[in-house]
A and B are shown apart, each in its own frame.
Chain A
Amino acid sequence: MHFEEKILTVRTDPLHATGIDILQVNMGYRCNMACKHCHVQAGPAREEMMDIRTVEEVLVVLNENRVKTLDVTGGAPELNPFFRYLVEEARHAGCRVIARSNLTIFYEPGMEDLFDFYSRNSVELIASIPYYREADVDKVRGNGAFRKSIDALRQLNRMGYGADKALNLVHNPTGAFLPPSQSAMEKEYREDLKRNYDISFHSLYTFANIPIGRFREFLIRSKNYDKYLRKLTDAFNPETLQGIMCRHLVNVGWDGTLYDCDFNQMIGLALLDRYPRNIRDFDHHLLAGRQIAVDDHCYGCTAGQGST
């Protein structure tokens, strides 16, 4: 059964947003890494990057002061030349700023002061580290990724992240299977990272891999696509629909196009026809209660405990 029909078996109406708590901005698909599970298919060769005109349009929306949180993602958003300008201006506008960092970016040329920049601007970090063991992380992200991530987490701890500054981690399964219970995995990460590396963090989020992008290619190549889709649909949990992220945010693509979430952006699934399609036409009233555009990949966010 398609996701759109599935929704109507547990609700009387299609999925709608309940407000806009967060403006999630994808600053471009360039990244210093090319992880096997990346739904963005990000990498060093990608050229799609948000330009200054679009950044200014994002800031117009934030300066209206109705959306209180900016969530910056990519690729590695730090590689966009206007990333720091966006963050600083958003902070001046009084926004809470969350950045999604891959942790290895801190050791790229030109990023020497990134730790200070984040700390100075009180940016909250959501850092992805797929597992707490070296072999598993390097298998997905490339050799040396784990060690760099550990070094970055230690430095962040020294600067108060994981204590008075927010540092949350993200776990993704390293294959065609669902993530474990968030609380159990958080306990394991916490114990292992503390014992072996003296690292502290606030929370761990466990996210299912969404069957799009590079992960979809892996599923097809390994003949796991149908089985994984069945696993997701079998694990559909209607209780996840209340907190699902698309109902609380608007996602902005690198070219200013609006989407219901970053996953929809990656498959080119735009907002439904009757809503503004670009950040320059942002209309809080229309978007805050919009109907969400869904497709079968949405089963990824509603499986088990949910992935939001």
Chain B
Amino acid sequence: MTDYYNDEDLERFGDIGKHSPELFKKFMDWYTSALQPGILSKREKILIGLAVAHAVQCPYCIDAYTKSCLEEGMSLEHITEAVHVASAVRGGASLIHGIQAHNAADRISM
């Protein structure tokens, strides 16, 4: 399993389109449009991408968005802060479910 994720596989992403070209094209158009600067700047969108990459723990996305951050002139300080935001939200999402645990316990407790 050590070679489960390979760097070179990212460049083969287009292979996914072989069996469903129309859907893949729709995805790529949507993805490209979503990343274009709008009300949010390119830099803000890249930071969101980096944070989501860490939240969903996608190694390809982490590599790609880290590189994009560096090419936008961001440093490891910027990257680490963004990862903390992702991690804090993710941690908070677990923690808030403690209320569900309390509710469940309340429902069956005297």
Contact = CB atoms under 8 A, between A and B. Distances in A.
B72 A180 contact: yes
Given A133-B77, A135-B77, A184 B70 contact: no
Contact of A177 (B43, B67, B76, B77): B67
B70 A185 contact: no
B106 interface: no
A175 B73 contact: no
A171 B73 CA distance: 9
A116 interface: no
Q: Most B CB atoms within 10 A — which of A131, A180, A185?
A: A180
Contacts of A136: 75-76
Interface residues of A, number: 15
A135 B79 CA distance: 14
Interface in A111-163: 131, 133, 135-136
B71 A133 contact: no
Interface string B73-94: 1011100000000000000000
Q: Most A CB atoms within 10 A — which of B70, B73, B76?
A: B73
Contacts of A171: 73
A173 interface: yes
A136 B71 CA distance: 14
A59 B72 CA distance: 42
A136 B69 CA distance: 14
B75 A184 contact: no
Interface string A159-191: 000000000000101010111100011001000
Interface in B16-45: 43
Interface residues of B, number: 9
Interface string A194-224: 0000000000001000000000000000000
Q: Most A CB atoms within 10 A — which of B43, B70, B77?
A: B70
A185 B71 CA distance: 10
Contacts of A173: 70-71
A184 B77 contact: no
Contact of B71 (A131, A135, A178, A188): A178
A144 to B, nearest CB: 19
Contact of A180 (B67, B71, B76, B77): B71
Contact of A184 (B67, B73, B76): B73
A131 B75 contact: yes
A175 B66 CA distance: 12
A166 B73 CA distance: 24
B45 to A, nearest CB: 14
A135 B43 CA distance: 21
Contacts of B75: 131, 133, 135-136
Nearest to A189: B73
A303 B13 CA distance: 25
Given A178-B71, A184-B43, 18 more contacts: A131-B75, A133-B75, A135-B75, A135-B76, A135-B77, A136-B75, A136-B76, A171-B73, A173-B71, A177-B67, A177-B71, A179-B71, A179-B73, A180-B72, A180-B73, A184-B72, A184-B73, A188-B73
5 A-B pairs with the lowest CB-CB distances in the bound complex, closest first = A180-B73, A185-B73, A177-B70, A180-B72, A177-B71
Interface of A: 131, 133, 135-136, 171, 173, 175, 177-180, 184-185, 188, 206
Interface of B: 43, 67, 70-73, 75-77
20 contacts: A131-B75, A133-B75, A135-B75, A135-B77, A136-B76, A171-B73, A173-B71, A175-B70, A177-B71, A178-B71, A179-B71, A179-B73, A180-B71, A180-B72, A180-B73, A184-B43, A184-B72, A184-B73, A188-B73, A206-B73
